[in-house]
Structure 1
Amino acid sequence: MYTNGIDVRAEGSKGGLSLGWKEGVYVMLRSYSKSHIDIEVMENSEEECWHFIGFYGSPIEHKRKDSWNLLRQLKGNNKLPWLVMEDFNEILYSFEKSGGRLREERQMLAFREALEDCELNGLGFLGQWFTQERGRLPETHERVRFENSKNLFRFNATGC
């Protein structure tokens, strides 16, 4: 059970973010929007400090560029180790999708460039390869490995 939290309300029936944490962890809210919650976390002492971002990439293709720019902005001049827990709503490579409409290479490339610009690396995953499956008929069946099954991270040597 989480004793503390931050909620960003949904707009209508879609979206919304929530972040919870247990007693004994000091959290300072840096910023938030309908797409992110950005906090600084201090554990045990002020020397153990890191940056956490809960991130939700736009589900609308033509707005993903804005998502990647927001991610770059959040990285900014951050000198702390950081962890991004996310649902990017995007794939890195075409083999991460089976069925449905093909992703354009430029779209996946823009995502890969954003991750590179932010020095984010995948931690890996456990479980099934595809993270989303929809469509019951063979002609509408689609399986996708969205990056929402990965936690991404970047570490810097600098502390608080």
Structure 2
Amino acid sequence: MWKSTVDVVVNSYSKNHIDVEINSNRQDRWRFTGIYGHPEDENKYKTGLLLKGLWDNQGRPWLCGGDLNLMFQSSEKMGGWGFSSEEADILREAIDYCHLEDLGYVGHNFTWSNNRGGAENIQERLDRFLANRAWRDLFPDENCAEIVSDAWERGGDLCSKIAFTSSNLSAWSREKFGDFMKELQACKGKMEQLMEETQTEEVIAQM
């Protein structure tokens, strides 16, 4: 986020989130929050509290996403023990409270697997992106829908349609967002490195 065309200000961060304001010469100022939800069953309610605490009621364009470690509905889980409606309530209440909408996905139904075979395999959709109405208005998705419909109008077999759609969606994403996500990931990695170095220094100081 060091490019002169993009200005990013970090509002807050913790081990479970990073919240930034983004301003560029392409769009109005908007907000992005990256989330890593608490993986422990007894702490998953804290992810809901975190999301609610980040909501500022100002109606600014807001995109929020990452590994929330929570599922919204039973179709987002395959295998393993039964789906937890209590965990779904945590996510549902947080989404409603923050006036966010699930942006959906393209591709495989699940984002996590335990990498075991047969009956022991478990797959879940733990990663998702959410946005409020102001953000969706700032980045309207009609162009994305047109790309998908164009692929089906072209005809041909399913593989060629998928290849055409994937290629054009990638080009559309680069045009709309530039290198934002790649640069944000690099920024996150640098911050994690600095946090690890700080913790190491604290341990050494205590020895």
- How would you bin the TM-score normalised by the shorter chain? 0.7 to 0.9
Q: Residue in 1 aligned with 2:40?
A: 60
SS at match of 2:12: strand
Aligned-partner residue type, residue 73 of structure 1: G
2:20 to 22, 27, 39: 39
Identical-pair percentage: 33
1:151 to 116, 119, 129: 129
Q: Residue in 2 aligned with 1:103?
A: 83
Cα displacement string for residues 118-141 of structure 1 (whole angstroms, at most 9, x for unaligned residues) = 111111211111222224343321
Q: Distance in 1 between matches of 2:21 and 2:38?
A: 24
Q: Residue in 2 aligned with 1:30?
A: 11
**Structure 1 unmatched ranges of 5 or more:** 5-21
**CA distance 1:26–1:135, change in 2 (3 Å):** closer
1:112-127 matches, within 5 Å, as 112-127=92-107
Q: Distance in 1 between matches of 2:49 and 2:71?
A: 17
Q: Residue in 1 aligned with 2:161?
A: none
Cα displacement string for residues 48-102 of structure 1 (whole angstroms, at most 9, x for unaligned residues) = 1111111111111211111111111101233311001211111111121111122
Instruction: Report the more deviating stretch, 30-39 or 70-79.
Output: 70-79
Q: Distance in 2 between matches of 1:144 and 1:94?
A: 10
Aligned-partner residue type, residue 104 of structure 1: S
TM-score, with length taken from structure 1: 0.75
1:34 positional shift: 0.6
TM-score, with length taken from structure 2: 0.59
Relative contact order, CA 8 A, sep 6+: which one is greater?
Answer: 1
1:154 positional shift: 0.5
SS at match of 1:115: helix
Aligned-partner residue type, residue 125 of structure 1: Y
Contact 1:50 1:81 (8 Å CA) reproduced: yes
**CA distance 1:54–1:139, change in 2 (3 Å):** same
Aligned-partner residue type, residue 122 of structure 1: D
Larger radius of gyration: 2
SS at match of 2:130: strand
Aligned-partner residue type, residue 96 of structure 1: E
Q: Distance in 1 between matches of 2:4 and 2:81?
A: 46
Could you list the runs of 4 or more consecutive aligned residues of structure 1 that deviate by over 3 angstroms after TM superposition? none
**Structure 2 unmatched ranges of 5 or more:** 139-207
Q: Distance in 2 between matches of 1:49 and 1:121?
A: 19
Instruction: Report the more deviating stretch, 54-63 or 137-146.
Output: 137-146
